[in-house]
Amino acid sequence: MSTLVRAASLTNYVAVARQCGLDPWRLLREAGLPVSATEDPDLRIAVESVRHLLEHSAALSGVEAFALLMAEGRRVSNLGVLGMLMREEPTVRHALLSIMAYGRTHNEALFQRIEESQGIAVVHADLLLNSPGVAHQAIELVVAVAIKTVRFFVGADWHPRRICFMHGAPIDVSVHRRVLGQTPEFGSDFNGFVCTSTDLDTPIASADPVVASYIRQQVQSRQQATLTVADEVRQIVLVLLPRGRNTVDQVARLMGITRRTLHRHLAAEGQVFNELVLSVRRELVSRYLQQPSRSLGEMAQLLGFADLSSFSRWHRQQFGATASQRGGPR
């Protein structure tokens, strides 16, 4: 079954494609997407098709920041009912928590999580796609929209402390600087941005708790894709892997349940914890192998392995070849 996203994810695609000398209609057809996807923002389309479209468009045009050009004109309203709810939340923190709770009504592959410590907040904004392949464009679009959303509420002059991408740096970062307002850090250990807890506590002037309650009911009634326990486990594992803390006990603790309860919930969904960790590792290693600057040692650490030899053995078992053979010299 395909993972779906609202066609609003293609907002500005036609204009940017034409600007870059491409035929948007032909590329849409080649990606298996209907032309109506550019006209009906609530149409549900396959996330994988959108990922393919954005990567293919960037490659054909030679514009490495293709998706960021799409993000440049995005507004909170592009998120539909979810964007309406965010406008009525009391603070930026509550608005981001709304995305965490109901973001799958907009994009079933969307992953967002906030980690805070000593007044610093790390906002993870990523995609879990359940399949290997490059997703630089889609991920940059997700992060850019998250930053523009916070900036809409905090103020046009707001800048995060850091903007981070796991993939390597493009040759030209001028579009990144213009759209994001600063130069991102590439080759990082997560996708997202860093800000202060004070930023998240910024009140939203348009907030109305009565309207928020009403819209929340509407969002809940429309929520077709409920976050399963397995989905939540995959999201937490994505955060914990680089720290080598991706154990079932750690995940269960963060979910506020016991290890036995976690296993029971997963079994009810026909899932096994170790298999979920494996699926996340397989997806991530495929991304990392597309980054020539990423060493095998870095990959081993980001995937939660104790050392390079453990990673190498795992990779050969999974893919029948070494990482160097699949991705080239390291």
Q: What is the pTM of this model?
A: 0.82
DSSP sequence for 250-319: HHHHHHTS-HHHHHHHHHHTT--HHHHHHHHHHHHHHHHTT-TT--HHHHHHHTT-SSHHHHHHHHHHHH
pLDDT at 1: 58
Q: Where are the alpha helices (DSSP H) in the chain?
A: 13-19, 24-30, 47-61, 66-71, 81-87, 92-102, 136-154, 174-180, 197-200, 209-222, 229-240, 248-255, 259-268, 273-288, 296-302, 308-319, 323-327
Question: What are the tokens at 177?
Answer: 């600087």
User: Which residues face 304 on adjacent strands?
Assistant: none
pLDDT at 254: 85
Q: pLDDT averaged over the chain? A: 91
229-327 homologous superfamily: Homeodomain-like (1.10.10.60)
Pairing of strands 110-117, 162-164: unpaired
Q: Is the pLDDT of residue 204 over 80?
A: yes
Q: Is the pLDDT of residue 224 over 60?
A: no
CA distance 68 to 12: 10
Q: Which residue has the higher pLDDT, 111 or 18?
A: 18
CA distance 18 to 13: 9
CA distance 200 to 219: 23
pLDDT at 128: 85
Question: What are the tokens at 290?
Answer: 């597309």
Pairing of strands 110-117, 44-46: unpaired
Instruction: Classify domain 4-200 by CATH architecture.
Output: Alpha-Beta Complex (3.90)
How do the domains of the chain map onto residue ranges? 4-200, 229-327
Contacts 24+ apart (CB under 8 A), 272-275: 273/233, 273/248
